[in-house]
Amino acid sequence: MPETITSVTGTWTETEIRQQPASWIRSLTNLDKLRPALDGFLTPLLRKKNLRIVLTGAGTSAFIGDIIAPWLSRHTGLNISAVPTTDLVTNPMDYLNAAHPLLLVSFARSGNSPESLAAVNLANQLVPECYHLPITCNEAGSLYQNALDSDNAFALLMPAETHDRGFAMTSSITTMMASCLAVFAPDTINSQTFRDVADRCRAILDSLGDFRSGVFGYEPWERIVYLGSGGLQSAARESALKVLELTAGKLAAFYDSPTGFRHGPKSLINAQTLVVVFVSSHPYTRQYDLDLLAELRRDGEAMRVVAVAAETDELIAAGPHILLPPARPFIDMEQVFCFLIYAQVFALTQSLSIGNTPDTPSANGTVNRVVQGVVIHPWKA
């Protein structure tokens, strides 16, 4: 049974943020039990030399692929890429190649979004040798149920509590992300090694107490910029989206890479801007993160520039910073879960501070938990 989580704010969003470490281990432990059947499905596919593996989803679910695909591709040697369902549906001719076998890994909280279902149908229609691995949080969702009835699919269901009731995806994104990493890189990410990540994130949540003291401080922010390199740039994108979602756009949020930020976007900084730099654990990449961190602090244009890192040095310690709780050395693929915890809590506290209702932040109903208003047009070759 899921552990009991107490929400100080009385919101599902807080409960779902706090439950994540337990949900990750629950999902990965369940994956251990499913491993023989999963390997029976995957092993013959992974032997195909020209197999394409496409990680897909819409919105936050798409960012899972963006975060993990580069590392997974390098770590496994497999042809793994990320393409949002929102792109697959509008431009299938650009992304679905009939000449190569395809494994489509679909991430979805509800499994009912029109693009998720349409992407599966288009892949089956355009790629003769097509297989599916839906990773979803909703047992009743169409994506999961359809996969159960398909002979070219293996359905992977997350723990029931990760079907987040709050508007923004929190435990759903991180649990699906951890599970996909464990599917394709079990030597590095598994139910045992990931306990270190879960323990570190529990320590982060404990350090934030009842969340009332904030994360990066309480100021009259008008803008926030998240910066990260490699997969951490996509984590920065997800962090920015959380702020936009939970504040209903009242706090403008942006993202970029530290090196890319200099090429124009840096001009958005003003005296009401908070900049958060996710510092890489890779010694080479870290140099570029710290270069921009020092530059932004020298500029003195932003209200605050905060570094979030696992280890300190003179550049980090010279200004506002957050150090992750002590743990063994983490690669960025593990560290990203810690960064997302801080970003989720920050978005929640900002939502509350402006008087929003985090579980239903879009008061006028123009943005919905499960996207509405999408017309799927039939594909004609």
What pLDDT band is residue 371 in, cutting at 50, 70 and 90?
A: low
Q: What percent of the chain has pLDDT over 90?
A: 86
The tokens describing 267, both together, are 């001009």
pTM for the whole structure: 0.94
The letter for the amino acid at 176 is M
At the fourth CATH level, the homologous superfamily of domain 12-192 is Glucose-6-phosphate isomerase like protein; domain 1 (3.40.50.10490)
CA distance 297 to 299: 5
Domain coordinates of the chain in residue numbers? 12-192, 197-353
pLDDT of residue 213: 78
- By CB atoms closer than 10 A (0-12, 13-18, 19+), residue 32 is middle
Q: What percent of the chain has pLDDT over 70?
A: 96
Residues 6+ apart with CB under 8 A from 274: 216, 219, 221, 223, 224, 225, 302, 303, 304, 306
Once rounded to an integer, what is the mean pLDDT over residues 28-43?
98
Which numeric CATH code is attached to 197-353? 3.40.50.10490
Task: List C-alpha distances in Å: 125 to 113, 142, 186, 292.
Answer: 19, 18, 32, 46
151-201, pLDDT tens digit by residue? 999 999 999 999 999 999 999 999 999 999 999 999 999 999 999 999 999
Cβ–Cβ under 8 Å, residues 159 and 352: no
Helix, strand, or coil (residue 65): helix
